[in-house]
Every structure is written in structure tokens, then in C-alpha cells.
């Protein structure tokens, strides 16, 4: 059996992590989780082969999503990052895109929006499309 591509879900809210993880598994990902950017960075540095993609919250304790992406991009410029955020300020969102995120989803989000974003990433990294 082929090894599933790994996705890292980073959010300080257990319920959000669980929802994102469930949708990611539908898209064919093996899922790892972290509750803040500091834990996520440690996992990224320790993961053999890294992650196929990362879904990350913006507002978290210890190290927020922006700080995490800044630190991640020092060594890893290619792993796709999708930011989950309640931030509606267009300038801040554009700054994140300039920093190297690959997209964002506004909270509260519809599972279908996340499914669409993850399906696009899955197609690029060889995971399966979710069942219709």
C-alpha cells in the first residue's frame, strides 16, 4: 500500500483541529496535529520527509501563524500552507501571501470550502480526491 502524504494541522482549538483532520483524511492525507506554531515548527524540523502541506490558524498562543510561517520559510520555501483566520484586513492577508502562504480560508469556514482547498492540494501531492 502506498504511503499517504502527510498533512500538519495547526490550531489551538481542539474542535477545529478535529474538523480539519477529518476533512483532510477524506482527501487522503495522513494527519499530524499541533496546538501552536512552536509545536508545529518542532514537528516540521523533526519529520523525515517533511509534510505535503500545512493548514495553520493565525491566532494562537506561544507562536502565532504569522510567526510560524516566517520561521518555516527560513528553511522550507515549498511546503504549501493554507492559513485559517478570522482576520478580514485585506492588507494583512496580502502580507501573509507575500510571506509565502498558498491560500487562506476565513473563519468561520464551511467544511466544503476547506474540502475544496485540500482537494486542490491533494491533487498536487498525489493524495486521493474525496468521494462525491
pLDDT tens, residue by residue, 14-44? 999 999 999 999 888 999 999 999 999 999 9
Single pTM value for the model:
0.89
1 in any annotated domain: no
27: phi then psi, degrees, rounded to nearest 5? -85, 0
Does residue 58 carry a pLDDT above 90?
Answer: yes
48 in any annotated domain: yes
| pLDDT class of 120 with cuts at 50, 70, 90 | confident
36 in any annotated domain: yes
The domain total for the chain is 1
132 in any annotated domain: no
Q: What is the pLDDT of residue 127?
A: 56
Residue 24 near residue 7, CB atoms below 8 Å: yes
109 in any annotated domain: yes
105 membership: H or E segment, kind and range: strand 103-106
46 in any annotated domain: yes
Q: Dump pLDDT digits (tens) for 101-115.
A: 988 999 999 988 988
CA atoms of 8 and 84, how far apart (whole Å):
13
CATH number of the domain to which 33 belongs: 3.40.50.2300
Domain that holds residue 96: 6-124
Amino acid at each position: 500500500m502506498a504511503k499517504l502524504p502527510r498533512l500538519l494541522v495547526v490550531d489551538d482549538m481542539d474542535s477545529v483541529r478535529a474538523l480539519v483532520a477529518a476533512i483532510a483524511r477524506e482527501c487522503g492525507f495522513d494527519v499530524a496535529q499541533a496546538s501552536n506554531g512552536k509545536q508545529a515548527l518542532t514537528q516540521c524540523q523533526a519529520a523525515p520527509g517533511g509534510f505535503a502541506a500545512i493548514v495553520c490558524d493565525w491566532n494562537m498562543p506561544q507562536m502565532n501563524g504569522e510567526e510560524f510561517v516566517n520561521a518555516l520559510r527560513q528553511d522550507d520555501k515549498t511546503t504549501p500552507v493554507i492559513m485559517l483566520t478570522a482576520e478580514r484586513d485585506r492588507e494583512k492577508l496580502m502580507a501573509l501571501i507575500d510571506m509565502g502562504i498558498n491560500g487562506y480560508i476565513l473563519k468561520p469556514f464551511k467544511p466544503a470550502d476547506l474540502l475544496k482547498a485540500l482537494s486542490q492540494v491533494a491533487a498536487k501531492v498525489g493524495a486521493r480526491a474525496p468521494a462525491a
